[in-house]
Chain A
Amino acid sequence: MANWSLKWFQTMKVYWSNLFVYRTNFFLQTIGPLFVFLFIKLSLWTSIYLSSQKSIIGGYTLEEMLAYHLWIMVASMIILTSSSQNLSEDIRLGKISSYLIYPFSFWEFHASNFAARQTVQVFIALLTVFILLILLPTYFSNISFLFFIQGLILSLMAGFFWFSLNYIIGLMAFWLEETWTLTVLTQVVTYFCSGAIIPLELYPLWLKEALFYTPFPYLGFVPVRTFMGESLLFWQSVLVLLGWILLINLISKLIWKKGIHLYTAAGM
């Protein structure tokens, strides 16, 4: 194996062993909220359908709507796995000094942690799909292997985009004393604009179309519709996501260059 991949793999191993130490924390923090969120959305949409007496809303039957939100949960397990908080704390408390000394960069460290987290999350997502297939087969009547793989690929790419976005927010700690508000703001905007709460078909057409000029639909709506078997031009989506990923990483490089000049290595 090449030297760089050995560095990455060893870092991932450390992440996994740390995960094992904090396993309860991990489940409460990353998996727990997803289930709570799902439960709220399922009951909400069920009562909306029952009270409105319509059988189709925005093109979705109740069954399809619930399936949509089940898939959103699965996709979120792979996409929305990164948070900028560790990162900005590393900067604020001067912990990145070590990574300025080691021949392994701060980005490499966080990216390999992301990769490690992602493998765990994909495993959990697969397990969840498997359990859902057994418990609620009616919601997954049109699942196909090809669409599942396509959805998985889009989710993984979107996950990397989300990581890169959070990396930038984390880097804001070079300038801001607290990046917490930025994180929450981004999350809320993403929940609404990615279709994690309401499928994008329910938005006015102009808004839906406008959103497709942003990366947000790719963080939920697009992968989920792909999972559900609606062909949304898979290859085109791959290309668009790739473009966003390149762009955001370019920006993050520039921000890092600017920010590192301000770094004071507090506490060392």
Chain B
Amino acid sequence: MNRLDLLSLLLGVYVLLYLTSVADSIKWLSLAMSSGATATISSANYCDSLVGLVKRQRRICKKNLEVMESVKLGAHEAIQECQYQFKNRRWNCSMVDPKSLFGNVLKLGTREASFVHAISAAGVAHAVTRACSSGKLTKCGCDRTVKGPSKDGFEWSGCSDNIAYGIAFSKTFVDAREKKSKKSGKNAGRRLMNLHNNEAGRLAIEQNMKVECKCHGVSGSCELRTCWRAMAPFREVGAIIKEKFDGATEVKSVMTKNHPRLVPTNPQFKPHTKYDLVYLVASPDFCEPDPKTGSFGTKGRVCNKTSKAIDGCELMCCGRGYETRKRKVVDRCFCKFHWCCYVTCQECEREIEEHTCK
């Protein structure tokens, strides 16, 4: 643990020196990788030891120490969800190393970058909301509607639901990186893109909440019915953002009245809404390894022989062809399950055919 802490401290210093470009704005995601999942967050020093935060985020961290655990969890969930959603694509959200995360892929304003921004902003909102619900965070807001926060707010009209706080915190923390507006020149477009995609990710949560209701009037009749919003599981949020990734709009930054603005590159396309993802640069094809773009290439990737989609061998291997190998795998079968904790299975051996790209 100590060695890890030292390492993260060093990395932190390194990152601080390094933080000059907006393009690195997803660096904070490396929180997901920092030390053990249950490391105690108790002192303000902790915030300084974290890798990948900007000054403003560090300040937020120090003010909201108890929330950081959830932020970490959110970042972790976001990365996992990204890898799940992209497991069949040429770029599979794989990480270069815990420090630089996805490598150079996200340095450019590609579709992939837009997805990672959206899913990470959503991940933080999701995790903070859950932590609020489980009572781990004491500071979750209690303001309510018209009259704003009042001292006896809870007694008078209850608190707003936890989602409001989760979303608000994600906005403060994740967007904090993008607030630097001194040099609004070249990077202004990228900053706008990041902010837009962060917001789109959070909106994916807000727009897909289920409304659940319960009747509890006289004798349980529906004379009195109370409804509340419930957050969709993160897997579904991920799927929704993935859909938005598929339909993302290419935009460019233009100056109107001295303010940069994003407009679709192709004027014939319908302008994007706040729910859509936007990107500035077309993605590379990710066929060959290229350190400049951060592409790993698809050599050695497993593909699906029968599929015609992107996970099919044709597309995945970029026409280079594939190798077929037969190998034996040990699988679990005839399982006996409990709802929790353990599954007792027998082991069965079977032979599978595996195709990998050349």
Do the two shown chains form a genuine complex with each other?
no
Interface residues of B (CB under 8 A from A): none
